[in-house]
Chains A and B, each alone.
Chain A
Amino acid sequence: MASESPDREHAVAFTLNGEAVRARVPARMHLGDLLRGTFGLTGVHLGCEHGVCGACTILVDGRAVRACLMLGVQADGATVETVEGLTESGRIGDLQDAFHARNALQCGYCTPGMLVTAAELLADETAAASREEIRAVISGNYCRCTGYHAIVDAIATTAEARRNRRETAE
């Protein structure tokens, strides 16, 4: 098979933060660069571009993925949500409030990825969300500023508040 130029562009269409979008994407461009460069979603932060730090974490079809480990062309047909979309929808408002109240961020660079990872955990109503489990779930999101302690507190507080709301509703 003839090798393809890494610059060859492909047409993609997907749902981004609730809106139908399309773009022409060079084959080698990762989804993080596509979201930041083409769509201006600068809340997707690039920390390492080899899938370790977690700063670029987004939701693709409801699952947390690394935007730097997925090619832009792979988004074709998918539903993609970034911190901007999650904020606008109000779905993580309680989590963001808890992070704010607890100062569970300092420089804020890891924060979007950390919130998205926590959002996935909290969306699972069966998750226990103990401190230990929270620490395990966010262990792919690197934070250099906080001692993680406040982040664990904020996620645990949110998990408990949501649990209480569910129980009250029942």
Chain B
Amino acid sequence: MSTDPGGLTFLDRPNSYIGRSVPRPNARRLLEGRGTYVDDVPAARLAHVAFLRSPHAHARILSIETDAARAMPGVIAIVTGPELARVCTPWIGVLGHFKGLRSAPQYALAPERVTWVGEPFCAVVARSRAEAEDALAAIEVAFEPLPAVVEMETALDPETPAIHPDLGDNLAFERVLDVGEVDAAFRDAAVVVEETFRFGRHTGVCLEPRAILADWAPADGLLTVHHSFQAPHMMQDILCKHLSLHEGAVRVICKDVGGSFGIKVHIYPDEMATCALALMLKRPVKFVADRLESFQSDIHARDHRVAARMAFSAEGDILAIDMDDLTGIGPYSVYPRTSAVEANQVVNLTGGPYRHRHYRARARVVLQNKAPTCQYRAVGHPIATMVAEGLVDLGAARLGLDPLALRERNVIPDDAYPCAGVSGIKLEKLSHQAALAKLKAMMGYDALRAEQAVLREQGVHRGIGLAAFIEITNPSAAFYGVGGARISSQDGCTVRLDPQGGVVAAISVTEQGQGTEGIIAQIVATATGVPMDKVRVVSGDTQATPYGGGTWASRGAGIGGEAAWQAGKALRENVVAVAGAILQADPRSLDMRDGAVVDAATGAERMTLAELGRIVYFRPDTLPPGVQPEFVATRHYVPKDYPFAFTNGVQASYVEVDPQTGFVRLLKHWCVEDCGTVLNPLLVDEQIRGGIVQGIGGALFEHCLYDADGQLQNGSMADYLVPMACEMPDIEVAHVVSATASSEIGAKGAGEAGTAGAPAAVVNAINDALRPFGARVSRQPVTPEVVLEAMGLI
């Protein structure tokens, strides 16, 4: 752990807030209903846009008749795809380092062909949303329906038509990794287990729908965009590119964001169209997705089928994994992150906790006429974890070994780091053994097994499921930058000391509720010695913050937090230097603590920051000659030692299955994870829990169901099940701390951990409960129907 110039680590600085469960300063206004989400932003002359969306999975647009609609009350403009394309250029979602990844040009409004149910192709702008929707109903469209590619299993068949004829077929991307001697390992294995896992398509269901308000002020030459989004600078760059504007002409503001989880980090046609319409009409235009269009047009995720096998020695050593992943991504690879990342992650992560050396993985990414899929919380992680952990449990059963003991035997030992995982990933420091030991104690594993056995005798069928996992956090430029995507992996923080001794910290990572502004305030307060209630954090504004990536892939704390730490330290150095000149003291003998400049050795106050601010800002004439105070400091940070900070954890689930109805009751859930330095346990723990509940959603409830024609069957919140409080268990969270040496604060990310491990823990628990029936499930979501089918009852 690094030390600061004062010789203290950040943990034992006298006024350290790091590691403390400090409530978030910005939560108060949210609790009073005083948040400012996009739909709350007032704008004069505001117009509202509604979109005509495709009712077909695949069709040619023959004609759009708009005359009657144009004459309706309140209608300002009706714009079709070819008209909008004159203002907004199309995009193609590929990355250079994903060799062979292909997609087709995608337009803000489909000009000639629609490729999924819900794709926007015509926009109505009106004085109110209701009037815009009235006019939508009066537009007549003639379509020529085209064959729809719905099933990923047949998307590559020669007789299946190509969604984009120019591409020739529906294969968007393929990656094969073959490490070691896989065939030999399987041939020599004592035990081989195999399974085909199916993962249902699901989606983010952010409670605040996607929303954007774009206002073009020609006199200012400024397009101001209020956006419910995670990466404001990325959006600014993309708007410039596709609307042909200079970056100084675009300002993106992301104030309060009502949930994101990766859903709000992609380029959506309707949002680009809204910005283009604001340019065309020279007035503010707002789009807020209603819940029905959210289900049809937000990105989906996790549509995978994985056939996999695992080889074991007679003693229980994992020898090899061989897997084949097929995933459907909809008609386009989503811009600019691409829809190939999820499958690529599955290849990188499967079996990541274990020390086997023979690994073969193939991933194929295919196009289909369903909503596009892309990155959603814990991209690829729950799939990789389910495949490996499902196979480990099968192996344990076949070998007659305890599942926890088998994991203890096979994880990469805690003293083996740094090392490389079998897929080639570089691992700095993980703690599987410590995490397993902590989990075992926390859940009272042995007693729980005993209880399970007793209850089983009484006809109560409970199961215990475990899942060890690794998690990608703190991504460097290796994630997107090297592939040509203009997505920043560096972040910056500017810290300014004001006359009364308060600090304003402008940070390029963003807040969507995870507590970014809170932890930045903690870090800046610790680094500068200014009390936390005197620190104001500014985020989510491209004109007011340093350039950076925003918040995705669990990078807010590890990357944004380190930038804030470095900026805070630099400010402290500047301030102490000026104080030294005034006090005629060696700056090295001074420190900033609790809002004052103090003697570093004794802690005795020398002068308050307010007095220093008064002199510097209002009576600089009294400063010694040659002293030019800089009470502002900016620092940027990007991890360089490793492409990613991998983290690890282990989860356990305790469930009860009703063998008559197939219902699964969640009794308890545990998670031990290692995100390095825990900046604020209060925030981290509930974020882990939130992630677990999202993972449980995918495991048991959530599923975007399509029929054979590509119609979404359950695109409303009444039909699509999300986890509610009454179904969720209490969740215990604990931590092991392996700080990354790449940064001084040592924080890794924690945002994906819950979602990464929960589905496998729950599904393994269900299978543990079903063992007496000789049944097992391998398809998510595990609905009561899936359970009863597995038991042969239906």
Contacts and interface: CB of A to CB of B under 8 A. Distances in A.
Interface stretch (A71-79, A120-128, A144-152, A158-166): A144-152
Contact of B33 (A48, A87, A149): A87
A106 B717 contact: no
Contacts of B692: 147
Interface string A35-60: 01000011111111111110100000
Contacts of B24: 100, 103
A49 B290 contact: yes
Contacts of B258: 45, 107-109
B259 A144 contact: yes
B717 A152 contact: no
A10 interface: no
Given A112-B33, A152-B725, A103 B693 contact: no
B259 A115 contact: no
A121 to B, nearest CB: 12
B682 interface: yes
Given A82-B33, A111-B30, A142-B724, A100 B23 contact: yes
Given A87-B32, A148-B728, A53 B207 contact: yes
Interface string A89-108: 00000001001111111111
Interface stretch (B191-199, B402-410, B510-518): B510-518
Contacts of A28: 130
Contacts, number: 182
Nearest to B687: A106
Contacts of B30: 105, 107-108, 111
A136 interface: yes
A144 B515 contact: no
B31 A103 contact: no
Contacts of B31: 87, 96, 99-100, 105, 108, 111, 115
B312 interface: no
A142 B722 contact: yes
Contact of B725 (A48, A100, A102, A141): A141
Given A43-B34, A48-B291, A106-B515, A149 B27 contact: no
Contacts of B512: 106-107
| Interface band, chain A | 35 or more
Contacts of A53: 207, 291, 717
B726 interface: yes
A144 to B, nearest CB: 5
Interface string B737-775: 000000000000000001000000000000000000000
Given A43-B32, A147-B686, A107 B207 contact: yes
Among B257, B258, B290, B694, residue most surrounded by chain A Cβ atoms (within 10 Å): B258
B23 A110 contact: no
Contact of A109 (B130, B207, B716): B207
Given A42-B33, A103-B683, A108-B258, A144 B722 contact: yes
Given A84-B33, A106-B515, A146-B690, A47 B291 contact: yes
A65 interface: no
B670 interface: no
Contacts of A105: 27, 30-31, 513
A53 B728 CA distance: 16
**Residue among A48, A104, A135, A152 with max Cβ neighbours from chain B (10 Å):** A48
Contact of A145 (B23, B259, B727): B259
- Chain A CB within 10 Å, residue with most, of B32, B73, B256, B728: B32
B206 interface: yes
A34 interface: no
B209 A101 contact: no
Which of the listed residues A43, A51, A107, A115 has the most CB atoms from chain B within 10 Å of its own CB?
A107
Contacts of B261: 144
Given A108-B27, A108-B256, A43 B33 contact: yes
A143 B33 contact: no
A31 interface: no
A139 B35 CA distance: 23
B731 A83 contact: no
B426 to A, nearest CB: 31
Nearest to B35: A108
Contact of A45 (B208, B257, B291): B208
A96 B691 CA distance: 24
A138 interface: yes
Interface residues of B, number: 57
Interface string B33-59: 111110110000000000000000000
A22 interface: no
Nearest to B27: A100
A120 B207 CA distance: 22
A21 B294 CA distance: 34
Contacts of B691: 147
B686 A50 contact: no
A67 B34 CA distance: 18
B785 interface: no
B689 A108 contact: no
Given A49-B291, A131-B730, A150-B686, A83 B722 contact: no
A83 B31 CA distance: 8
A103 B23 contact: yes
B515 A103 contact: yes
Nearest to A131: B730
B40 A42 contact: yes
A89 B98 CA distance: 58
A147 B31 CA distance: 18
B259 A147 contact: no
Nearest to A132: B726
Which among B207, B683, B689 has the highest number of chain A CB atoms within 10 Å? Answer: B207
B450 interface: no
A121 B257 CA distance: 28
B205 interface: yes
Contact of A106 (B39, B73, B686): B686
A52 B266 CA distance: 26
A52 B718 contact: yes
A80 to B, nearest CB: 14
Contacts of A134: 725
B32 A84 contact: yes
Given A103-B23, A106-B686, A147-B690, A48 B32 contact: no
A145 B33 contact: no
Nearest to B669: A147
A103 B205 contact: no
B28 interface: yes
Nearest to B692: A147
Nearest to B29: A108
Interface string B191-235: 000000000000011111100000000000000000000000000
Contact of B208 (A52, A82, A109): A109
Q: Which of A47, A101, A103, A138 has the most CB of B within 10 A?
A: A103
B518 to A, nearest CB: 9
B725 A148 contact: yes
27 contacts: A7-B73, A41-B33, A42-B35, A47-B208, A47-B717, A48-B716, A49-B290, A50-B291, A50-B718, A52-B718, A82-B33, A96-B31, A99-B31, A100-B24, A101-B23, A105-B31, A106-B687, A107-B30, A107-B208, A108-B27, A108-B513, A109-B208, A111-B30, A111-B33, A135-B725, A150-B686, A151-B725
Please provide the 10 A-B residue pairs with the shortest distance between their CB atoms, ordered closest to farther: A43-B33, A147-B689, A108-B30, A107-B513, A109-B258, A106-B513, A83-B33, A139-B726, A42-B40, A52-B717
Given A42-B37, A48-B291, 10 more contacts: A44-B33, A52-B718, A53-B717, A100-B31, A107-B257, A138-B726, A146-B686, A148-B724, A148-B728, A149-B730
